[in-house]
Amino acid sequence: MKIAPSILSADFAPLGEAIARVEAAGADLLHVDVMDGHFVPNLTIGPPVIESIRKRTRLPLDVHLMIEEPERWVETYVKAGADYVTVHVEASAHLERTLALIREAGARAGAALNPSTPPEVLQYVLDDLDLVLVMSVNPGFGGQSFIPSAYEKIRRLRAMLAGRPGLVSVDGGVKADNAGALALAGAGVLVAGSAIFGAPDPGAALVALRSASEVPRRA
Ligand code: DX5
Ligand code: ZN
C-alpha cells in the first residue's frame, strides 16, 4: 500500500518541516491539492509553491488538479515538479487528449472521479492512465466524512484495470478505521490529509494508517 499524505491539512507556513516529517516516516508520495475557486469552492496553491516543495523533498509529487480547463496548465505543473498530474474527468471535455498531454510533458497521468461520477467514463482511456483517483468526498476541503460508495467504485475500477499497471488511489475521509476495507476493495494508494496532518504526531499517524491498511492481508 502506498501512503500519500495530503498537505492540504498541514500548516502552510512551516510546510517544509511538515513534509520532512512525513518523508522520514516513510510516505510514498506527497499529495498536493490545487484548487482554483471555480471547479471547487476553495482556493489553495499553484505552481510557485510546487516548485518550492520540489526543492525540499525527494518524494514523488502527486498533484491533484481541482481546476477548470486543466489541459491549459498541465505543462506548467510538470515543469514545476509534478510527477503525477491528475485531472478531474468532470473538468476536461477532451480527456484522452489531456491524458496524452500529461505523458508527453513527462509525467504520469491520472484521472479523478467525483463521488457522483461512474467509473465507466474511463472505459476508453484505460491504457492512457497511470492512476485513477476515486474521490470519497466532494472535492474542495479536507476533514469531510467518507462517502461509502467509494468501496464499490474501487472494486469496479480494479476489475476494469485488470492486467494493467494503473494505480487506484482514494482521496477523502481516509482514516485508520477504513484503511483495511479500502485495501481489501483494491486501493493501491491511500491519500490522507487530516488523518495525518491533523494528528499530534503526523509521522506516527502515517505509520498507523499503513499498518491499518495491512491488517486484511495478515489475516
Ligand atoms: C479534498 C482533497 C483531499 C483532502 C483530503 O478536496 O482532494 O486531498 O486533502 O483531506 P482528508 O483526508 O482530511 O479528507
Ligand atoms: Zn486531493
- Residue 2: the pLDDT is 98
The closest residue, in CA terms, to atom 6 on ligand 1 is 139
Taking the chain, what is the end-to-end CA distance rounded to the nearest angstrom? 16
Q: What percent of the chain is modeled with pLDDT above 90? A: 98
> Over the stretch 101-158, which tens digit does the pLDDT of each residue have?
999 999 999 999 999 999 999 999 999 999 999 999 999 999 999 999 999 999 999 9
Nearest ligand to the C-alpha atom of residue 136: 1
For residue 160, report the distance from its CA to the centre of ligand 2, in Å.
22
Helix (H, G, I), strand (E, B), or coil: what is residue 210? helix
33 flagged as catalytic: yes
How far is 101 from 187, CA to CA, in rounded Å? 26
35 Cα–ligand 1 center, Å = 11
Residue 216: which pLDDT band, with cuts at 50, 70 and 90?
Answer: low
- Taking only the tens place, the pLDDT of each residue in 2-36 is 999 999 999 999 999 999 999 999 999 999 999 99
Q: Which atom of ligand 1 is nearest to the CA of 193?
A: 12
Ligand 1 touching residue 171 (CB < 6 A): yes
Active-site annotation holds for 171 = yes
| Index of the ligand 1 atom closest to the CA of residue 144 | 14
Q: State the pTM of this model.
A: 0.98
DSSP 4: E
The Cα 115–Cα 51 span in angstroms is 30
pLDDT tier, 215 (very low <50, low <70, confident <90, very high otherwise): confident
**Cβ(143) to ligand 1 under 6 A?**
yes
Is the C-beta atom of 195 inside 6 A of ligand 1? yes
Q: Which ligand is the nearest neighbour of the Cα of 174?
A: 1
Q: Please name the helix (run of DSSP H) or strand (run of DSSP E) that holds residue 196, with its range, or none.
A: helix 194-197
Spatial distance between the Cα atoms of 124 and 121, rounded to a whole number of angstroms: 8
Question: Nearest bound ligand to CA 42?
Answer: 1
Q: Which sign does the torsion angle of CA 88, 111, 216, 193 carry?
A: negative
